[in-house]
A and B are shown apart, each in its own frame.
Chain A
Amino acid sequence: MTTVLPETAPGPEAYEAAFDAAVAADERIEPRDWMPDAYRATLVRQIAQHAHSEIIGMQPEANWITRAPSLRRKAILMAKVQDEAGHGLYLYSAAETLGVGRDELLDKLHSGRQKYSSIFNYPTLTWADVGAIGWLVDGAAITNQVPLCRCSYGPYARAMVRVCKEESFHQRQGYELLLELSRGTEEQHAMAQDAVDRWWWPSLMMFGPPDDESAHSAQSMAWKIKRHSNDELRQRFVDICVPQAEALGLTLPDPDLTWNEETGHWDFGAIDWSEFKAVLKGNGPCNEQRITQRRLAHEEGAWVRDAAAAYAAKHAPGDNRTHRKEAASR
């Protein structure tokens, strides 16, 4: 082999330098480009976790599809849950460009070796939770994801452009749902306030641990996978939400929330990181339920997937007999 290579064959250092230069120049890294193993591994972990979150995230909302209080809201909610399945599909495709299969990733989700967003371990107890998820959870997700549209890895960045467009739409619908409740009957208003009270802090936790405790942040920022720190994005989210809550006629459950003239930001109270850690460790309100339902859906669907595979094998392209039969049946 060595004999056919020119003496100037690029060594690993040259590949690494080309990668670093591309990242520095804000160029996109594409699937066939050389990339450091750790970059690949970080992206697989992050994209897979993102995909899993879309799939697990269907559950708390699907919980209300059959009970939606008007046909219009039912249609909106069904469309939203359908979009989430679609986002999961885009993201698994993006992960597959890095050389992992969807089946492998799903297996890691089902066996607890890969995580999903901690927020989906909270229960949807009333209809207003559907609105709070739209406004706060999707709002936090968008704040996180908009910068990912400029992420250094091309397939992920492009998936995020599509995802963010749909998420923004969901977020507006969630806000509008809460507004309707807030301006509705006394009971509806109370339902909306209760939902915001329960979802506010978990939504702030969606940005991840504080900057000084975030294991992957520095490297991800250097690689331009992440563009802003957890705390920066969290602050941005709080600044957006405070006036929105006021417009909604709802309060945020934080007595320490105060406008800071000097910084030009809203100061907010301390997050209960012990709760965050407990949820991440699997001890949140719905961890067990969410993963069990996902596993069950997968296990109970095995015979369907087997049937599709067996049918495809029997009727593989090139089997003329099959094609004639199919054509005749049309």
Chain B
Amino acid sequence: MSQAAPETSAAGSPAPAAGTLALADDALVLSHRLGEWAGHAPVLEEEVALANIALDLLGQARALYADLGDEDELAFLREERAFRNCQLVEQPNGDFACTLARQLFFSTWQELLYGQLLESVPLAGKAVKEIAYHRDHAEHWTLRLGDGTEDSHARMQAAVDGLWRFTGELFQPLEGFDLDLDALRATWTERVTGVLTHATLTVPETPQSGGWTAGAGRQGLHTESFGRMLAEMQHLHRSHPGATW
């Protein structure tokens, strides 16, 4: 089975496509997680909304993979250590609050990031329009859950606190892209802080990354649930080598 991913070469110099691969993997993995919600959402409108966001992200992943090689080889035939997504997107769905906190952190970042990549990533112009909708959806739910009932407030706060340590990775350099990371972090923090505060939630003061989470996903070091996610995602494709679907 070929490892189709553009790998870091033996000499250790980054492959030029590494940044694109990271963005594609982010979109694929988050799309997969959102796909797990199908048939389980709290209201029908959210069945539609979560599937809609999942589809947008899958579309983004496919467009980005197209620049790198065969999308199915990249998605189904790489192992855990070859995936370059950030650890935030691979986190299990948890309850609706966890899913929406993950979505808030990611889509706020993704919108700002793609805003910086309009010149260098052809997809970015189309994607930012989709992402603005994702971010808007996440913000509205953060407000409703944070400023809803006592129970929803507690759950949303727990979700924000639990995922906070995965947000630092969003501000690590992305190989091949010339990013203004300081601006990215400043604007992200301002926006997320604004939404959380408005939602009557407390912005965590805990570290945004630990020893393991500091850029680990981008290096192919993932959290434990990710391997299981891939096992499920890749099983059928891997069971029929060379077949087309």
Contacts and interface: CB of A to CB of B under 8 A. Distances in A.
Interface of A: 55, 58-59, 62, 65-75, 78-79, 81-82, 85-86, 88-89, 92, 127, 177, 180-181, 184-185, 187-188, 293, 296-298, 300-312, 314-315, 325, 329
A55 B235 contact: no
B129 interface: no
A310 B245 CA distance: 47
B149 interface: yes
A59 B149 CA distance: 30
Contacts of A74: 35, 58
Contacts of A55: 44
B42 A185 contact: no
Given A65-B35, A67-B232, A81-B38, 16 more contacts: A58-B39, A66-B32, A70-B72, A73-B245, A75-B55, A78-B55, A78-B58, A88-B44, A180-B245, A187-B243, A303-B152, A303-B155, A306-B149, A307-B144, A307-B152, A310-B152
A301 B96 contact: yes
Contacts of A180: 244-245
Interface stretch (B46-54, B82-90, B168-176, B218-226): B46-54
Contacts of A85: 44, 47-48, 51
Contacts of B151: 303, 306-307
Given A85-B47, A89-B45, A307 B236 contact: no
Contacts, number: 148
A185 B235 contact: no
Interface string B143-159: 11101110110010000
Nearest to B55: A78
A228 B56 CA distance: 41
Residue picked from A75, A184, A307, most chain B C-beta under 10 Å:
A307
Contacts of B236: 67-69, 127
B43 A304 contact: yes
B-side binding surface: helix, strand, loop or mixed? helix
25 contacts: A55-B44, A58-B39, A62-B39, A66-B36, A68-B236, A69-B240, A70-B245, A71-B71, A71-B75, A79-B51, A82-B47, A85-B48, A180-B244, A187-B240, A187-B243, A296-B40, A297-B40, A301-B43, A301-B46, A304-B43, A304-B145, A306-B148, A307-B149, A311-B144, A311-B148
Given A306-B149, A311-B144, A71 B42 contact: no
Contacts of B152: 303-304, 306-307, 310
A137 to B, nearest CB: 16
A176 B244 CA distance: 12
Contacts of A81: 38-39, 47, 51
B198 interface: yes
A66 to B, nearest CB: 5
Interface in B213-245: 232-233, 235-237, 240, 242-245
Contact of B233 (A62, A66, A86): A66
Contacts of B35: 65-66, 74, 78
A65 B28 CA distance: 13
Interface in B19-46: 28, 32, 35-36, 38-46
B201 interface: no
Interface of B: 28, 32, 35-36, 38-48, 51-52, 54-55, 58-59, 61-62, 65, 71-72, 75-76, 95-96, 143-145, 147-149, 151-152, 155, 194-195, 198, 232-233, 235-237, 240, 242-245
Nearest to B62: A71
Contacts of A312: 144
Contacts of A185: 240, 242-243
A220 to B, nearest CB: 27
B7 to A, nearest CB: 21
A297 B140 CA distance: 21
Given A66-B232, A69-B76, A58 B47 contact: yes
B30 to A, nearest CB: 13
A311 B42 CA distance: 16
Given A69-B236, A81-B38, A89-B44, A308 B62 contact: no
Contacts of B28: 71
Nearest to B36: A66
A26 B1 CA distance: 63
Contacts of A181: 245
A188 B243 contact: yes
Contact of B51 (A68, A82, A88, A304): A82
Contacts of A329: 194-195, 198
B42 A304 contact: yes
Nearest to B50: A82
B240 A293 contact: no
A153 to B, nearest CB: 22
B39 A59 contact: yes
A300 B71 CA distance: 36
A314 B147 contact: yes
Contacts of B75: 71
A54 B39 CA distance: 11
Contacts of A309: 148
